[in-house]
């Protein structure tokens, strides 16, 4: 049984959903970020980065959503969470996941956790002011170029859809109206209505 460490309302939702969709046997362990549990010695032994998600497997510990998502897709091929038989399509999935992780998530973090990059109040205010515009740029690219519709890869559902769903839920907090991105908004709505997704979110 895998041990999975997550925090509610965080990026770890993507991997949590993938565990459910894959059919993996796992135990979910909530990390209380508000009380800095991610900075406690026991947790840092699992993940020295002090972040979620973390997946503990028989082979060792995996961190970072793109890595966990790929691991689950490859470990449970019958779930068809990635086009494992098509190298180019799989590269497309990983390209989207890398963009969500390295660019979109970071753009969001500049607005809500600017202290990672600056201390000066003026710098923090500038980052918070700029974040909505950067998120609009990111989601314009997703809407126009990355989301084929109805899923990232067109008709084939994948781990990228779980990741996009997770991050698209942050738009309102970033002061961005998601309805200006019709394909993204439809994508988010359909997954919110999914029974598995609703159960995971309710259980967090």
93 shares a domain with 73? no
24 shares a domain with 68? yes
Judged against a pLDDT cut of 90, whether residue 201 lies above it is answered with yes
Q: What is the CA radius of gyration of the chain?
A: 17
For 4-9, what is the mean pLDDT? 97
Range of the domain at 36: 2-80
When divided into structural domains, the chain yields a total of 2
pTM: 0.96
pLDDT digits (tens, 9 = 90+) for 147-174: 999 999 999 999 999 999 999 999 999 9
60 shares a domain with 110? no
150 shares a domain with 72? no
Angle formed at CA 72 by CA 68 and CA 76, multiple of 5 degrees: 175
DSSP conformation letters of 176-191: --GGGSHHHHHHHHHH
How do strand 2-6 and strand 26-30 relate by DSSP bridges? parallel
Query: CA distances (Å), 192 to each of 5, 46, 168, 187, in order?
Result: 22, 31, 11, 9
With respect to residue 6, please indicate whether it lies within any of the assigned structural domains.
Answer: yes
For 86-98, what is the mean pLDDT? 98
31 touches 38 (CB < 8 A): yes
With respect to residue 203, please indicate whether it lies within any of the assigned structural domains.
Answer: no
What are the phi and psi torsion angles at 163 (to 5°)?
A: -70, -45
With respect to residue 202, please indicate whether it lies within any of the assigned structural domains.
Answer: no
Q: What pLDDT, on the 0 to 100 scale, is given for residue 180?
A: 98
Judged against a pLDDT cut of 90, whether residue 32 lies above it is answered with yes
Beta bridge partners of 56: 3, 61
pLDDT digits (tens, 9 = 90+) for 104-163: 999 999 988 878 888 888 888 888 899 999 999 999 999 999 999 999 999 999 999 999
């Amino acid at each position: 049984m895998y041990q999975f460490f997550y925090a509610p309302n965080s990026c770890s939702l993507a991997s949590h959903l993938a565990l459910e969709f894959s059919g993996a046997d796992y135990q979910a362990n909530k990390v209380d970020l508000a009380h800095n549990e991610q900075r406690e010695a026991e947790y840092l032994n699992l993940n020295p980065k002090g972040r979620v998600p973390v997946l503990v497997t028989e082979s060792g510990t995996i961190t970072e959503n793109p890595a966990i998502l790929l691991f689950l897709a490859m470990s449970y091929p019958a779930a068809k969470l990635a086009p494992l038989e098509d190298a180019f399509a799989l590269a497309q999935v990983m390209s989207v996941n890398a963009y969500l992780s390295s660019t979109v998530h970071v753009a969001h973090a500049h607005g809500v956790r600017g202290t990672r990059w600056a201390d000066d109040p003026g710098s923090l205010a500038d980052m918070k002011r700029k974040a909505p515009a950067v998120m609009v740029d990111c989601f314009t690219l997703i809407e126009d170029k990355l989301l084929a519709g109805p899923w990232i890869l067109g008709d084939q559902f994948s781990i990228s859809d779980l990741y996009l769903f997770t991050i698209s839920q942050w738009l309102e907090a970033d002061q961005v109206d998601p309805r200006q991105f019709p394909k993204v908004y439809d994508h988010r709505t359909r997954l919110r209505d999914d029974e598995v997704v609703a159960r995971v979110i309710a259980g967090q």
